[in-house]
């Protein structure tokens, strides 16, 4: 479970202080697939970075599976992240000179846990994301959709309980985006991972169980399909 | 497309005779075909019977004029604000929207937003259904639903385009 309370993040530039997140409270249950939507600059990607331990909050608390990552040192957060959180970025963030297989195995290599058994798992993941025939190909020679498949496989290699995705389909056309979202959904259903996905695309958000509407650094509304008027809230929000 | 609401739109703020209604209704429908004059007169009879349209005097060329009753205006405005379910075809919404434009309908933004909510609900429902179908291995129905979603995406884009143009000075 992800629990966020009183979360504040501000950035200082010269004399100006910009509060990007303003007292955010949020609870995401284990195994939920949640989409975060909101205009540019509303703080949704900053929230994701804090959830992933890539940055630390100015104030407030973030707990993931009972561990307060907001109180950890940078090193502790990095170790926690490697073991428990997978992250997928809009621009894939692969190591371009490495092959598909090397990119996916990289977190294990960095942790010093890469062995024969783990390598077998890497190969299974390559097959699951449909890149079997490209496993020896260099990452920068792949298409956008293929690179995102590698990024998904890499994010799953440590069996994280939480998967964070920041606009995972933002650079892809509709049909490639569809393949990526279906892949994520299939893994989500199979492994019961918690997924938090930032997106501006309602067609991507449609894959989630719940949608969090973000505006000006705060949560405007959390909507689930069970609510009678949820489509009206969405339409108002998107107006 | 409804001849009934087309006639009511044309009578919203002016009096017309039957032939005028036929010509203007054809224009309102654009390239979607022409209306049979007989259909106009039978529809007018029903509208008079339901007290939505009032028959007036005969004009100087001995043509009967018609106007919309206050209850007819209410009925038309109620229809304009009813979102159109996707399965009943989006053409119905386009017709409704062109009727709203014809009478400079003040609540056009509300109409568009309600339609957007209707489309969004379909998008959310169909996305879930599509995913379930694929996981069950029902490739054909998955592809059919995907096709419907692409049409819905086009509808949403169109509504956004209308909204964006409304906000321009």
Give the separation between CA B141 and CA B119, rounded to whole angstroms. 20
Written as six digits, the tokens of B59 are 């004009």
Check pLDDT > 80 for residue B86.
Answer: no
Average pLDDT over residues B51-77: 90
Tell me if chain A has a CB within 8 Å of the CB of B162. no
Written as six digits, the tokens of B102 are 């014809």
Give the tens place of pLDDT for each residue, A183-224.
889 889 888 999 999 998 889 999 999 999 999 999 999 998
Which pLDDT value is given to residue A27? 95
Which pLDDT value is given to residue B62? 80
Tell me if chain A has a CB within 8 Å of the CB of B139. no
Which pLDDT value is given to residue A152? 92
Average pLDDT over residues B100-129: 92
Check pLDDT > 70 for residue A173.
Answer: yes
Check pLDDT > 90 for residue B36.
Answer: no
Tell me if chain A has a CB within 8 Å of the CB of B148. no
Mean pLDDT, rounded, of chain B: 88
Give the separation between CA B2 and CA B133, rounded to whole angstroms. 36
**Per-residue confidence band for A146, with pLDDT thresholds at 50, 70 and 90:** very high
Q: Name every chain B residue with its beta carbon within 8 A of the beta carbon of A202.
A: 120, 123, 156
Give the separation between CA B146 and CA B127, rounded to whole angstroms. 8
Average pLDDT over residues A163-188: 88
Which residue from A minimizes the CA distance to B127? A206
Which pLDDT value is given to residue B32? 62
Nearest to residue A158, comparing CAs of A77, A50, A80? A80
Q: Name every chain A residue with its beta carbon within 8 A of the beta carbon of B153.
A: 174, 203
Helix and strand element counts for chain B (H, E): 7, 3
Give the tens place of pLDDT for each residue, A80-100.
998 899 999 988 999 999 999
B16-17 sheet: strands from edge to edge: B16-17, B64-68, B53-58
Residue written as token pair 């279906």: A182
Quote the minimal CA–CA distance from A50 to chain B in Å.
28
Measure CB to CB from residue B127 to each of A206, A236, A239 and give the nearest one. Answer: A206
Pair type for strands A85-88 and B64-68: unpaired
Nearest to residue B46, comparing CAs of B80, B2, B77, B79? B2
CA A24 to chain centre: 18
Measure CB to CB from residue A235 to each of B117, B127, B131 and give the nearest one. Answer: B117
Which pLDDT value is given to residue B169? 58
Quick one: DSSP state of residue A143? -
Which pLDDT value is given to residue B99? 93
Torsion of CA A103, A107, A111, A113, to 10 degrees: -70
How many beta-carbon pairs under 8 angstroms link A with B? 48
Q: What is the pTM of this model?
A: 0.81
**Per-residue confidence band for A229, with pLDDT thresholds at 50, 70 and 90:** confident
Nearest to residue B74, comparing CAs of B7, B8, B3? B8
Which pLDDT value is given to residue B29? 78
Residue A232: its H or E element: helix A230-238
Which pLDDT value is given to residue B168? 62
Nearest to residue A188, comparing CAs of A73, A31, A81? A31
Average pLDDT over residues B41-64: 89
CA end-to-end span of chain A, whole Å?
32
Q: Which residues of A touch B (CB under 8 A)?
A: 174, 178, 182, 185-186, 189, 202-203, 206-207, 225, 230-232, 234-236, 238-239
Which pLDDT value is given to residue B33? 64
Cβ contact B53:B66 at 8 Å: yes
Q: Do B163 and A239 touch (CB under 8 A)?
A: yes
Give the separation between CA A92 and CA A145, rounded to whole angstroms. 10
Handedness of CA A65, A69, A71, A73 (dihedral sign): positive
Give the separation between CA A232 and CA B8, rounded to whole angstroms. 29
Q: Name every chain B residue with its beta carbon within 8 A of the beta carbon of A189.
A: 135
Check pLDDT > 70 for residue B120.
Answer: yes
A2-13 sheet: strands from edge to edge: A16-28, A2-13, A59-64, A67-68
**Per-residue confidence band for B89, with pLDDT thresholds at 50, 70 and 90:** low
Residue written as token pair 């703020």: B13
Give the tens place of pLDDT for each residue, A15-68.
899 999 999 999 999 999 999 999 988 999 999 999 999 999 999 999 999 999
Average pLDDT over residues B38-51: 92
Nearest to residue B92, comparing CAs of B83, B105, B102? B83
């Amino acid at each position: 479970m992800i629990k966020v309370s009183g979360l504040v993040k501000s950035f200082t530039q010269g004399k100006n202080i910009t509060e990007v997140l303003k007292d955010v409270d949020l609870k995401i249950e284990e195994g939920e697939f949640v989409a975060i939507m909101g205009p540019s600059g509303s703080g949704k990607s900053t929230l994701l970075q804090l959830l992933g331990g890539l940055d630390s909050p100015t104030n407030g608390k973030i707990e993931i599976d009972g561990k307060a990552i907001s109180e950890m040192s940078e090193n502790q957060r990095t170790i926690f992240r490697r073991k428990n959180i997978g992250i997928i970025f809009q621009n894939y963030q692969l190591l371009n000179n490495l092959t598909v297989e090397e990119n996916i195995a990289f977190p294990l290599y960095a942790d010093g846990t890469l062995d024969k058994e783990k390598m077998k798992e890497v190969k299974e993941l390559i097959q699951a994301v449909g890149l079997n025939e490209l496993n020896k190909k260099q990452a920068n020679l792949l298409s956008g959709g293929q690179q995102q498949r590698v990024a998904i496989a890499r994010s799953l290699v440590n069996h994280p309980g939480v998967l964070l995705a920041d606009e995972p389909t933002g650079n892809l056309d509709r049909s490639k985006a569809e393949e990526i979202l279906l892949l994520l959904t299939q893994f989500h259903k199979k492994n019961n991972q918690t997924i938090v996905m930032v997106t501006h695309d309602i067609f991507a958000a449609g894959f989630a169980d719940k949608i969090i509407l973000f505006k000006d650094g705060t949560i405007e509304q959390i909507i689930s399909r069970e609510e009678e008027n949820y489509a009206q809230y969405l339409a108002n929000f998107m107006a | 497309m409804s001849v009934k609401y087309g006639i009511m739109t044309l009578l919203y703020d002016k009096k017309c005779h039957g032939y005028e209604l036929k010509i203007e209704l054809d224009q309102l429908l654009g390239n979607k075909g022409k209306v049979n004059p007989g259909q106009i007169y039978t529809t007018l009879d029903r509208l008079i019977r339901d007290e939505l349209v009032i028959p007036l005097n005969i004009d100087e060329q001995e043509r009967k004029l018609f106007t919309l009753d206050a209850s007819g205006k209410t009925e038309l405005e109620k229809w304009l604000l009813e979102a159109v379910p996707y399965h009943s075809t989006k053409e119905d919404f386009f017709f409704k929207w062109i009727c709203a434009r014809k009478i400079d309908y003040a609540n056009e933004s509300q109409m568009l937003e309600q339609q957007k909510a209707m489309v969004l609900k379909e998008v959310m429902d169909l996305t879930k259904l599509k995913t379930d179908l694929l996981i069950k291995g029902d490739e054909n129905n998955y592809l059919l639903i995907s096709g419907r979603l692409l049409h819905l995406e086009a509808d949403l884009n169109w509504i956004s385009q209308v909204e964006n143009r409304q906000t321009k000075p």
